[in-house]
Amino acid sequence: MNICLVEDEISIAKLLIYDLKNAGYNVVHYANGMDAKFGINTQAFDVFIVDWMIPQLSGLELVKIIRHFKSDAIIMMLTAKDDESDVLEAFEAGVDDYIRKPFSPRELLARVNAHLRKHQNNDLKTISYMDVECNLLTREMFVKHVAVSCTKKEFDLMAYLLSNVNIVLTRDDILNELWNFDYDGDTRIVDVHIFKLRNKLEFSSLSIESKRGVGYVLQAKK
């Protein structure tokens, strides 16, 4: 997946480039609006992350250009602007998401993954990484090409983890994704499902690791 990052604050850009590349994305960075305007047609981009306040051409104007020529692209706006009128103006210009500064790079990564997952769901038939695969049509899970029995929630959790490889997901992330935002039950339900999936991954090259005080991450076994 190719991501176009338009951000003039170098410290923020370096941090995002590092995190996005570490998550497996190809990133092209532009530090001003005009360079981005002429550069966005040099290759196909799946996601545009655009800061509003950039030199030479505002992020809002750039968003309008991107949306006009790349109607199906995912566009995310980064900005310190937080007035309701600013948010509405950004969405009217064509953004898919609006992230206020200061922000969490981990949250931005999660949002990028969520948008791409929704964007691809119509065509996507499987989600896989290394030797684990989830067939979204038959709702079957495979480890080393062998079908593994799992419940609906276990399958949904495995698919969610596969969509966020190497990204730490909090219990709240998982609860919101699988049980919706209005879930008010015991959060240990996440731990129970993680435990069951770990058993199913016993012979896999992947493992679900705990990040103390944070959450869980699916990654290659060390």
pLDDT digits (tens, 9 = 90+) for 185-219: 566 788 889 999 999 999 999 999 998 878 999 99
Q: What is the mean pLDDT of residues 86-95?
A: 86
Q: What pLDDT shows up at residue 104? A: 84
Tokens, residue 204: 């896999």
First to last CA, the chain: 25
Q: What pLDDT shows up at residue 29? A: 94
What does pTM read for this prediction?
A: 0.57
- Has residue 123 got a pLDDT over 60? no
Q: What pLDDT shows up at residue 186? A: 60
Tokens, residue 214: 């944070």
**Cβ contacts of residue 21 below 8 Å, gap of 6+?**
27
Q: In this predicted model, which residue has the larger pLDDT, 84 or 47? A: 47
- Has residue 70 got a pLDDT over 80? no
Round the average pLDDT of the chain to a whole number and report it.
Answer: 86
Q: How do residues 145-170 score in pLDDT, each as one tens digit?
A: 899 998 888 999 999 999 899 889 98
- Has residue 71 got a pLDDT over 80? no
Q: What pLDDT shows up at residue 43? A: 79
- Has residue 182 got a pLDDT over 70? no
Q: What pLDDT shows up at residue 119? A: 66
DSSP annotation string for 48-112? EEEESS-SSS-HHHHHHHHHHH-TT-EEEEEES---HHHHHHHHHHT-SEEEESS--HHHHHHHH
Q: What pLDDT shows up at residue 127? A: 86
Q: Would you place residue 23 in the very low, low, confident or very high pLDDT band (cuts 50, 70, 90)?
A: confident
Query: Which has the minimum average pLDDT: 82-91, 110-119, 159-168, 189-198?
Result: 110-119
Q: What pLDDT shows up at residue 13? A: 92
